[in-house]
Amino acid sequence: MIIDTHTHVVSSDKTKHPLDPGARGWSTEVSNDVEVLIAELDAAGVECATLVQPNATYGLDNIYQCDSAKLYAPRTVSVGILDPAAADAADKLSYWVNEHGMLGVRLQTQADADDPSCDAIWQRAEELNVPISIGGGGQPDRVDRMTKIAGRHPNVLFAPDHFAGWSGADDKAGMTTALEAMAMLPNAHLRYSSTSLGPYADLNDADRDRFRRVIEAFTPQRMMWGSNFPSSRDGGYIGQVTLGKTALPWISGHDLEWMMGKSAHKFWPMLQAPAK
């Protein structure tokens, strides 16, 4: 079963679902109604998907992701964005989970990832059995701080987004070391997407080796593929799926099955493929 852990839906009905006043980037240019996404999944042979709240699209209003995921559950689940440093972050998590069926949370904050104020949402995530995705990264010290807070909450499954920003980092050697240390946590997983697979072909030999070291540290059993569609959309959705399957030719077929779906199913065991 293929599970895409990083799709975005953006409604074309801007009256019912207006963009946040601070919206920027790709979602101000294109929409991706959930019905369109489901058709794309079918055409590409992708059974399940997580609908991830896009950054800087709807702000912290996760309703379109949640409502869309419920329409197609158990094929889809929603992953909303919250600010973990907000005073009411834990209660907001309970609200979205209990009132709107949100089954994952993506932490985005201007605060330090290891700020003590962020511990409350991690504790609530454990109580609610909700896995955490972490935005940001890109620098070894930021990854180290993610590792510190996750280490204090060993019962919460977590995964940084987009290979933790490794591909855009200036210090790839330092990022590799930091991610290898993170991988020592049993609850650590890593989400990778087209933002890391696309640039892989242009890496030098040393950086390709570092890329591989990160995957080997986490093991394929804790790596989770996501298309990042439609933020990443060269070749359409099916092009992103093809990239996921072919960008790393040294990955065995058995390991690719874990990375393209089986690992994600540990995160979201409620996901089920549609009836044939």
Decide: pTM greater than 0.75: yes
Taking 80 as the threshold, does the pLDDT of residue 229 lie above it?
yes
pLDDT mean over 19-39: 93
In 3D space, the residue among 57, 78, 43 whose CA is nearest the CA of residue 235 turns out to be 43
What pLDDT, on the 0 to 100 scale, is given for residue 113?
85
| Per-residue model confidence as pLDDT tens digits over 51-107 | 999 988 999 999 999 999 999 999 999 999 999 999 999 999 999 999 999 999 999
Domain that holds residue 93: 3-267
Residue 46 in tokens: 């992708």
| Per-residue model confidence as pLDDT tens digits over 191-202 | 999 999 999 999
| Per-residue model confidence as pLDDT tens digits over 249-268 | 999 999 999 999 999 999 99
Question: ∠ CA(235), CA(261), CA(255), 5° rounding?
Answer: 95
pLDDT mean over 215-242: 96
Q: What is the CATH number of the domain that holds 46?
A: 3.20.20.140
| High-pLDDT (> 90) share of the chain, % | 93
pLDDT mean over 24-44: 95
- Is residue 6 a contact partner of residue 227, using CB atoms and an 8 Å limit? yes
Is 185 domain-assigned?
yes
Is 225 domain-assigned?
yes
Is 275 domain-assigned?
no
What pLDDT, on the 0 to 100 scale, is given for residue 276?
76
Residue 110: pLDDT band (50, 70, 90) is confident
Is 204 domain-assigned?
yes
- Is residue 60 a contact partner of residue 30, using CB atoms and an 8 Å limit? no
Q: How many domains does the chain have?
A: 1
| Per-residue model confidence as pLDDT tens digits over 18-27 | 999 989 999 9
Rounded Cα gap, residues 268 and 226, in angstroms: 14
Residue 221: pLDDT band (50, 70, 90) is very high
Rounded Cα gap, residues 102 and 95, in angstroms: 9
Is 276 domain-assigned?
no
pLDDT mean over 157-186: 96
- Is residue 242 a contact partner of residue 37, using CB atoms and an 8 Å limit? no
